[in-house]
Amino acid sequence: MTVHLIRMAAGLETVEQLRERQKDRLKNYKNFSGKRGVLQTYTRNVPKREDELTDGGSIYWVMKNHIRVRQRVLAISRENDDEGRGYCLIRLDPELVLIEPRHHKAFQGWRYLRVEDAPPDLGKNAVQAPDLPSAMADELRALGLL
């Protein structure tokens, strides 16, 4: 049974900022295994439901108190840093899938998100409003105007 993660995109306010940060990381940074071109995020705690996450799960990113975008989880691995402390690497699909924005309060770390509770994707025909502030675009979408 598939399960998702929900996670804060620390310091980011827009999907475009996430896209640029990840593009920069793919281009300029080696991953923890020394390879370039692999997109991953890390967390201190290893999800216990690893098999469910890699069975079609995604990370849903929260920015400015709204879940705004998701990325498919490709793999999860356990690693140790130079001081022997364990952490978890989550390999991500580079494709960002826009979803219907949904309000979500701030939290630390990550949380599980059940499939039935996940916001739906916007779809390929969704109208994008890159010149509008996020809050205004969210409100117009809620009114059915976008």
Q: For residues 79, 75, 33 and 23, what is the CA-based torsion angle, rounded to 10 degrees?
A: -130
Which range marks the domain in which residue 47 is found?
3-142
Query: Residue 116: its pLDDT value, please?
Result: 94
pTM over 0.85? The answer is no
| Rounded Cα gap, residues 144 and 146, in angstroms | 6
What is the domain count for the chain? 1
> What are 56-80's pLDDT values in tens digits?
999 999 998 889 999 999 999 888 8
Query: Residue 133: its pLDDT value, please?
Result: 74
Backbone φ/ψ region at 84: left (φ over 0), alpha (ψ -120 to 50), beta: left
Amino acid at 42: Y
- The three-class DSSP label of residue 137 is helix
| Rounded Cα gap, residues 40 and 43, in angstroms | 10
